[in-house]
Chain A
Amino acid sequence: MKTIDLQKHTVRDLNQALHDQVEECTIREWEVLEPKGQHNIACGLDQNLSVDIKGHAGYFCAGMNKKAHVTIFGNAGQGVAENMMSGTVRVKGDASQAAGATAHGGLLVIEGNAGARCGISMKGVDIVVKGNVGHMSCFMGQAGSLVVCGDAGDALGDSLYETHIYVKGSVKSLGADCIEKEMRAEHIDELTDLLNRAGVEEDPKAFKRYGSARQLYNFKVDNASAY
């Protein structure tokens, strides 16, 4: 295992060392010490690495992640795992706003609470939050799943496309065109799988499912003639 102390090395040094593993992987396990809220830690990884960040991370931690497994032993700032393509990002504490924004794939697990706009414009990532999510979560979510074991804030799932949303607690309000939907057997199966992958012990039957009512302009075939 390779240990990098961010009070002795720059984030750029760390990220370059992690990127150097793309051509030929010589070290699988990495440990990052003293992150002290610095931004852009472990961004743009493209290799099957394990990266443990021992402390609080700043903005965009593990952004654009591909294949790697990044764990933050603390809180994460804005945009954790934004635009992730594959791999796993796990936040042991809370995440600030826009966690998993625009992410295409992989699994993001937040063991604490997530702030506003969790999963905004998500495009295929699976996000499991053990705590609550803030307002405007899953705004314009296009694909993937958002699981919330706590409560959701205002305007959940506004202008949603195909993302599946599961919430165990209360939903303060639903966004435009987002509705509660029937929880069928296939959804219980999907949710069971998501919870298992996230290592979260919850009863899938205790959740409600939310999705797009498909009533907004872009869902109406009559509008196709405009193009």
Chain B
Amino acid sequence: MCGIVGLYLKNKALESQLGALFTPMLIAMTDRGPDSAGFAIYGDEVADGSTKLTLRHPDENYDWDCLASAIKDDLGVTVEWFKNSKVAVFKVGAEVDVVQPYLAENAADILILSAGQSIEILKEVGLPKNIAETFNLASMKGSHIIGHTRMATESAVTMEGSHPFSTGQDLCLVHNGSLSNHNRLREELKREGVTFQTENDSEVAAGYLTNRLRKGDTLNEALTNALKDLDGFFTFTIGTRDGFAVVRDPIACKPAVMAETDDYVAMASEYQALTTLPGIENAKVWEPEPETIYVWERDQ
């Protein structure tokens, strides 16, 4: 079943409240996905040439400081970091193609949940309420955020199988539905250099978009191509460094509702998740049309 939610702020004055506005949205989707939950939040950007990573180690007492010192010494770059539960956010003064191979070589037990300049992905097994508390979601700041609550059907309830997935820098996708041509597509994307961490169909959709964006597509173009190349049921909500998008397959049997005011754009699987947003009573509320791409992008 699964629930997906997203919130994109148009009014920058609300950025300090992003986590507080989003927490009840995620918790409202517990009925649709009580097994695990996660979210990708955008904000607190690092400069060009630097990389922000969300890293996870299963041991909550893992020595992140030791890892940070090693990166500093071995790569000769700056490292700032902070810990949040089993996850640490590292801001490294080097390009991602330097940092990622280093981590793969020297810290193979670390899982990279996300990499980019803006994105942080946090996810765990358990009820959305507990996950929001674990990561102190309500205190988080940012420009936009997308989240997922999972009712597992196709693979085990594990942290690795939790959504959202990120396959490229600052790109993240949450998915309600199932794809039918993900196996073939995964093989084609692997040949083109996209890497995958799981056998999950949603990760393939994220990988597909990553590949299209790398080839120079705009977000809109990438999603237009996705409508042609992805077969199956989907409602997607997508985050990029400065963009937010929603798209449903042509059959549109997976639910979605959207709301827009001067302050924000929000999407959810069900309207119940939008009821706590400020001004929702007077918001424009509508069901996104099948096979139609809705995109909001910030000016660079």
Task: List the interface of chain A (C-beta within 8 A of B).
Answer: 36-38, 56, 58-59, 75, 77-78, 93-94, 96-97, 115-116, 134-135
The residue in chain A whose Cβ has the minimal distance to the Cβ of B272 is A37
A134 touches B290 (CB 8 A): yes
Distance in Å: Cβ of A132 to nearest Cβ of chain B: 10
* Partner of A56 from B251, B255, B271, B290 at Cβ < 8 Å: B271
* Partner of B287 from A36, A38, A58, A94 at Cβ < 8 Å: A94
B275 touches A135 (CB 8 A): no
Q: Complex Cα distance A94/B287, Å?
A: 8
Please judge, given known A-B contacts A56-B285, A78-B255, A97-B253, whether A135 and B290 are in contact too, CB under 8 Å.
yes
* Partner of B274 from A37, A59, A94, A134 at Cβ < 8 Å: A37
B275 touches A96 (CB 8 A): no
B68 within 8 A of A: no
How many residues of chain B have a CB within 8 Å of chain A? 16
A37 touches B252 (CB 8 A): no
Contacts of A77 in B (CB 8 A): 255, 257, 270-271
Main secondary structure of the interface of B (DSSP, over half): loop
The residue in chain B whose Cβ has the minimal distance to the Cβ of A136 is B251
Closest 7 pairs (CB-CB, A-B): A37-B271, A37-B272, A36-B275, A56-B271, A115-B287, A96-B287, A116-B252
State which residues 118-161 of B face A: CB under 8 Å: none
Contacts of A75 in B (CB 8 A): 271, 285
Contacts of B250 in A (CB 8 A): 135
Contacts beyond the supplied A58-B272, A134-B252, A135-B290: 5 A-B pairs with Cβ under 8 Å: A58-B270, A93-B285, A96-B257, A96-B287, A97-B252
Q: Beta-carbon contacts of B9-36 to A below 8 Å, as 1s and 0s?
A: 0000000000000000000000000000
Contacts of B255 in A (CB 8 A): 77-78, 96
The residue in chain B whose Cβ has the minimal distance to the Cβ of A34 is B275
B62 within 8 A of A: no
B286 within 8 A of A: yes
B286 touches A94 (CB 8 A): yes
B287 touches A37 (CB 8 A): no
Contacts of A94 in B (CB 8 A): 285-287
